Structure 1
Amino acid sequence: MRREIYTEDHEAFRQLVREFIEKDVVPHYAEWERAGRMPRTVFARLGSLGVLGVAIPSEYGGAGERDYRYNAVLQEEAARALVTLSTVRTQLDVILPYFLEYADEQQRQRWFPGLASGELLTAIAMTEPGTGSDLAGMRTSAVRDGEDYVLNGAKTFITGGLLADLVIVVARTATDPENRRAGLTLLVVEDGMPGFERGRVLDKMGCKVQDTVELSFDDVRVPAVNRLGEEGAAFGYLGNNLAQERMTVAVGSVAQARAAVTTTIDYVKQRKAFGTPVASFQNTKFELASMSAEIEAAQTMVDRAVLDLVEGELSGADAARVKLFTTEVQGRVVDRCLQLFGGYGYMTEYPIARLYTDARVARIYAGTSEVMKVIIAKSLGL
């Protein structure tokens, strides 16, 4: 169906990204999956092309275009090529907004040029063992001591944590028995700070090209000048960016579901069973037709929400609706596509296997489907 959310500038950016992915990503992707991470050279290349600095102000080496549609184009083009740029996506869509919103001038001068060039890689450390979606239940603590905070605790499921130069850590700096959400603070831990350790790299079912690690902090002295925003205000900061984080998942879910259908159509036209192409069977046609309709419905929903996000009007409840619907569509679509591949779909040499395993986490991270339903129910007065 016709889409009207992109301008000529977005389409020019799309062409740039498409050429980069075809030349610099696709030929090496299998190697990166085996290594369990993307090399730093990918970020440097993206930085040189201006991709990482689109939203960063021009005085720090960026383009000053805070338009989420550029981020969406990047995801769509990666999915089109049957790859993901998960760590890049996390840096641009999830982490960079915190720096853009809450970094002071001194911090901008220190960090923004490196973020734009790809020299500085980032991660955000929220999830702790046993907390999951309960952000208010964080136990990692930071105690003020002169010009520093002394940070102690552990984090898990940290995307990009293996190579990160800057890690935004959510820590508890105060406790209010009447308000569990109060007292959380954002501290930027830098690579090499004594007491900051990277634990084991977690072995995931999918998303193999994206490193996910455990982090620990043992009396790490973090200078107070590395605090983002106000002390004790982090819960509100986290909430402000959740709509975009959930949209990021939704955009990827639709793009990957569409890619799954495209690669499946190519396969069933070539694969024969009982002497005839699998595409000729009525069941195959009906399955793919049904999936196509679901994807177009999800795409329309995403496009409306993307425009609302760009205009600053996307509500938390609507972001939850979009994430819930699109990730459930993605799960159904990739499962049915894999079925049409038959036994070959279970073989990792076929991209549908990766699309299948990568898709499963979409209903978990950035808030589980169950959490999305709670948010939606509250918006209904329930």
Structure 2
Amino acid sequence: MNKIRLMLMMSILFISVVMFGHTAHAETSQNIDVYEQLQLREDFGFPVDEKTVERMLSSNEFSQDEYGILLTKAEQIMMKEKFRMQNEVVPRLKELLQLNHIEPAGIIINQKENNIIVMVKELDKLQHIIDNEALFSVDHTIVKYINAQYSEKDLDEFSHAIWEAADHLLTEGIEIVSTSIELKDEKVHIGVYDKTNATEQKIIQYFSSFPVEVMEVEEPTDFASPYGGEKIVSERGAGCSVGYSAKSSSTYYLVTAGHCSLENGKFLSGEDWYYKSKSNSNYLGTAYDYQYRGAVDAMIIKVSSSKTNNKININGSSRTMTSSEGRNADNVGQIVCRVGFASGKAQCGELKSKNVSYRINGVQFNNLRGASVTSTNGDSGGTIYADYKYIGITKGRGGGYNTTYSQIGEINSSLGISTIIR
């Protein structure tokens, strides 16, 4: 939302809250909650006009249901159609592009307009192929083609080069906190703690051959806390959330965030983990292996097969998961949802970036995913999913995003495991 729209929405919220007689304390809480809902609704192309806001506040027409977004029953049906687009239409489109020898620079799911954007380098040279009607509409979904100067791979390489130069810039007093690939804008966002004109100009000049934009970001964090409802707890009392079950040959594991079993930078191999609370009856298993760098913040807890399943807890009810996303099989703009014990309720948003990079205590992360959902302490390791598909596990805040996560294909590859889908 731009500043004018933000001011308008906050005015609407103030008027609406006063109309319905909230106290000053409730007003503040209501403003924060409803504004978040408005942002999520706008991301998915649902109305955010004044009448909609008033109805959201005054009637029972809207409910959060399984998506963590205030939606009407009709809008919930539309959400299911959005999942069908990313689960069925996008793979079919990729097959058609390959058959026609078109290498996309990037593919973006446009939730607001319910279409798919295909970025193509030198579009004019391929226009005679793309003019094929079959490539403009796939299963009644409109496909739009736009010319691209850079591919997703190009932007990834720019991001990598920026991090290679980060130490040199630090000697000049400029600390790069994060990078984030913004595919639709064809830019690399460079995050700094304190953005000044001088710092911004120096960074832009230094990377003059790269399409960069400087932004001010908060310090990245790892979510690890013993607060909340359903959780897993270490023998030290550290609380995190379960991501998914996995196996390697005949050995079974639970997957959560790697930093959950780190202490002073060291992995506590063999540390005992429990379900919900530390007691003999809730014993799960021991920390076995981990990855805490690059694209992955994950660890595996060795457990018996009876402690594994392919279910997730969505707002108190179970869902049986039927698939697991392949490595680099995700697309910017797709729907991603989050569950974690601290947040309690599930929430869905968009995948905004496939390459968010930053450092925590000297450890470099890259190719983390940045999403528009929110998370809090204790959600670490919690499931990132889309419909009935495992997508990844929550890491924490960084690179300008309230939630970054490790993609499940990257996790499985780095730890030599496979997702359990019974």
User: When the two structures are superposed, what TM-score results if normalisation uses the length of structure 2?
Assistant: 0.26
Q: TM-score, normalised by structure 1?
A: 0.27
